[in-house]
Structure 1
Amino acid sequence: MIFIKLIFILVLFIILILAFYIHKVSEIAFQKAFYAKRKDREYEVNRLKDWGLWDEEYIDSLDIEDVQILSSDNLKLKGHLIENHKESNRYVILVHGYTAHYSLHMPFIKVFDDEGFNVLLVEERAHGASEGEFATYGYMESKDLNLWIDFLEERRKEELFIGLHGQSMGAASSVICGANNEKVKFVVEDCGYSSAKEQFKYEFSRTKFANFKLVYWLLDLKCNIRCGFKVEMADPKREVLKSSVPIFFVHGNMDKKVPCEMCVDMFECRKGHKDKILIVNGADHLQSYMKEPYKYKKMLHEFISEIE
């Protein structure tokens, strides 16, 4: 009888240890997924300098207007507007990724300036000077982009030719927005993931922690309780399948953050006749433009020209 009690206590102890372990792993994953430390301007500018992409003379010459909108859940969201082509109705919104500072997107100001676009760089919720506590992997961010589009149209009092250029999480935000907003004429999807769940699964596969399904269930539960949305709501692939907006897919084949296969999968499942894809050899996450600036700009120009 005593032996049975000891076995029972031991089993119970093991179960409690495992439960505590799973809880800790899911909490670590949750904190990393939604509250990771954000990068600042200095960090991103130094990164661009290392990549040879920081043009200080050009950036200093720009007339940049700080703008702001209020999100649907009452967050003050910041943006930075460059209207070098005030006579034009062409606008592009540049959307950064998770933990990134908007300044990482600054090389693309000139890329689109040369194409005759006015440019709006946005600071996504819970990043930079924008309010918010956590990211939603494109779910709420896509709704914020709808409001930025409304802001631009109300400002100009006319119908605009609007494109979205997103990197990483910004790519997911842009795809989801573009698939559901007919005002968006094109999307550049640069190193984005096919779904938040698949991205978490990929990140988790590189660890030696416990079973993904169990940890994911807890992570999703915490996300729903603490953040008010479910991870499955951020699903760019699901959105592209129901959308006809032209998409230019870009990815590096050496991307260790978001697997290149996600990009190829979205492109192939779409079969959009106006879509294009550029896979850059040797490029890691966010580095496609650094590795192949001429090819990137050439294909972007062709992509936009075929839409108009």
Structure 2
Amino acid sequence: MLMQKKSSLKPLLIPLTAITAGSFWISHKLFNVAFKRVNYVPETSKEKQKYADSYYEYVDWFHKVPSETWYLNDRSSENKVVATYIPAAQSTTKTVIISHGYKGNRETMANYAKMFHDMGFNALVPDDRGHGESSGDYITFGWLDRLDYLKWINRVINYIGTDSQIVLFGVSMGGATVEMVSGESLPSQVKALIADCGYASIREELIYLLKQQYRLPKYPVEPLVSEINKRHSGFYLGSASSVDQLAKNDRPILFIHGGKDTYVPVKMAYENYRATKAPKQLWIVKNATHAESFWYDPEAYRRRVQGFLKTYL
């Protein structure tokens, strides 16, 4: 009877083995596509290509404006992080630290840097791990980057002085990075946070994109990708949560999100908003897609940001 049972299992073992092998292959492929660094900035969405001329005008400004290059761990080939520091036209204690989006770099935040520069701020714009000129083979979606931003905050305080007034600002992955930083023990010089279209957690965003873009199930792909990420970057995806970090936040925060965002769904903006008990505002830009809120109406965007900051600076 035992031999018969073993024999009867053979037809099942072959497809089960194939399914398991296929799941591992898909998960590794997906991890490499989503988490491995690329040394170029992918083309923007069709919705935002109409802003290309304006975008490159901002980029030209970014490269021409007087600036300095700052480093963290500049002697480490594995941990070096690079940033551009743009001093305000007139001396000020106000500094914004700007966090870029997924597979972007500091140049892609030129429009925001100029907006804050025109508002009288110093601007520090880093390349995150696995992006631009910074080191790292893998993208950590804000979770390990949040530790770098704590160092950038202290670098600004040491450079400007203890009377610094610091704003953290980010878009997309950068928005989530700001939200993830918010739960850490922040110096009193950090006065306000602005998070534009940040996701609720890396895990939730991955599960959403698995369904929307790849038509793949949550199981077993997400747990396998999480395990791969643990081996490469040292953390499981479930531990990297904007919502959990925002629950510990005590700084005023403005959430911005496009009402037609299908990359980071607008429901995540409400999740993030509900998570924090600090003073907060939520602005849904009704007709904007992902990371389009500034481009949809730059003047309205500036007014909203400036109005928020006038309350806390």
Q: How does 1:67-216 map to 2 (within 5 A)?
A: 67-70=70-73, 75-85=79-89, 87-180=91-184, 181-182=186-187, 183-206=189-212, 207-209=214-216, 211-216=217-222
| Secondary structure at the counterpart of residue 20 of structure 2 | helix
| Secondary structure at the counterpart of residue 12 of structure 2 | helix
RMSD of the TM alignment (CA)? 2.5
**Which residue of 263, 283, 290 corresponds with 2:288?**
283
Tell whether 2:308 aligns with 1:303.
yes
Shift of 1:168: 1.2
| Secondary structure at the counterpart of residue 277 of structure 1 | strand
Unaligned runs of 5+ in 2: none
Retained in 1: the 8 A contact 2:249–2:278?
A: no
Counterpart in the other structure of 2:262? 256
Distance in 1 separating the partners of 2:62 and 2:31: 37
What is the CA deviation profile of residues 225-255 of structure 1, one whole-angstrom value per residue up to 9, with x for unaligned ones? 2221121221111111121111111111111
Distance in 1 separating the partners of 2:230 and 2:31: 11
| Secondary structure at the counterpart of residue 55 of structure 1 | helix
Compared CA separation, residues 51 and 214, structure 1 to 2 (3 A) = farther
**Which residue of 242, 261, 271 corresponds with 1:236?**
242
Distance in 1 separating the partners of 2:17 and 2:63: 59
Retained in 2: the 8 A contact 1:102–1:122?
A: yes
Unaligned runs of 5+ in 1: none
Compared CA separation, residues 232 and 69, structure 1 to 2 (3 A) = same
| Secondary structure at the counterpart of residue 213 of structure 1 | coil
Counterpart in the other structure of 1:55? 57
Shift of 1:49: 5.0
What is the CA deviation profile of residues 8-50 of structure 1, one whole-angstrom value per residue up to 9, with x for unaligned ones? 221110111111111112112211231153434x967x95852
Counterpart in the other structure of 2:298? 293
Shift of 1:256: 1.9
Distance in 2 separating the partners of 1:221 and 1:19: 15
What is the CA deviation profile of residues 24-81 of structure 1, one whole-angstrom value per residue up to 9, with x for unaligned ones? 12112211231153434x967x95852634435644541021111128x861111001
Compared CA separation, residues 60 and 37, structure 1 to 2 (3 A) = closer
Compared CA separation, residues 5 and 175, structure 1 to 2 (3 A) = closer
Distance in 2 separating the partners of 1:51 and 1:302: 28
Shift of 1:131: 0.7
Retained in 2: the 8 A contact 1:86–1:118?
A: no
Counterpart in the other structure of 1:22? 23
TM-score (norm 2): 0.89
TM-score (norm 1): 0.90
Q: Which amino acid aligns with 1:88?
A: T
Shift of 1:221: 1.3
Compared CA separation, residues 272 and 151, structure 1 to 2 (3 A) = closer
Distance in 2 separating the partners of 1:169 and 1:194: 10
Distance in 2 separating the partners of 1:132 and 1:142: 15
Give % identity: 24
The number of residue pairs the alignment matches comes to 304
